Amino acid sequence: MVMTIHREGYKTIALAAFIFALINLPSFYFISANKLWLSGLIFAVTLFLLLFLISFFRVPNRKLTVGNGLIICPADGKVVVMEEIFDEEYFKDKRLQVSIFMSPANVHQNRNPVSGEVTYNQYHKGKYLVAWNPKSSTENERHSVVIKSNGREILVKQIAGALAKRIVNYLSVGQEVDQSAEMGFIKFGSRVDVLLPIGTKINVKLNQAVQGGVTVLAEW
């Protein structure tokens, strides 16, 4: 599969490559003559970590899903929550919440679930609870965006996990966005919540693996 590296990873990968060289050059020079196995082990471990980091910032080349009446998954990962909740932040009423947990091995680029106008965009400082903790939706560092599509609004929360320390969101209030186009990026393990109107038809199941920009999350 053809893929590229997300721009959010350029500086991190460059720093990691520098550290990789800084560790391995002295290792081969000073250690390999007497303990080749140790030098080889250091090289293998640091190479694995470097390749894993590069993989984390990958952006696969996919055939994206678009369609009127469809709500597309905003993130890769596994569906961990499907429940009715009361939204205190924006709607002030009951909503259907679908949450997708992203492990460090998942693609961490986030995409717009629908086309429409951004009517709300707010960053919230917070904790770094593990992403599958129910309190992470309201207590963790997060970035909330509401998109209005054909008169209906949905809220998408990018939520930091225990490892994630930076949420990037590229949208702004008043902006017209396209379905499955890039919304933002979350570094390392994290979660995305989607708040839908009551009565929305959900197309995914608990523990289902989904792909951002590809899997149909729901229909309205």
Beta carbons within 8 Å of 2's beta carbon, 6+ residues apart: 60, 61
Cα separation, 151 vs 137, in Å, equals 25
Write down the catalytic residue from 27, 144, 149, 190.
190
Beta carbons within 8 Å of 11's beta carbon, 6+ residues apart: none
Q: How far is CA 160 from CA 22, 113, 171, in A?
A: 31, 19, 18
Radius of gyration of the chain (CA): 20
Q: How many residues would you count in the chain? A: 220
> Which of these, 57, 63, 65, 28, lies nearest to 43 by C-alpha position?
28
Judge whether 190 counts as a catalytic residue.
yes
Which amino acid makes up residue 95? R
Enter the tokens of residue 74: 């905003």
Q: Are 213 and 76 in contact (CB under 8 A)?
A: no
**Catalytic residue IDs:** 190
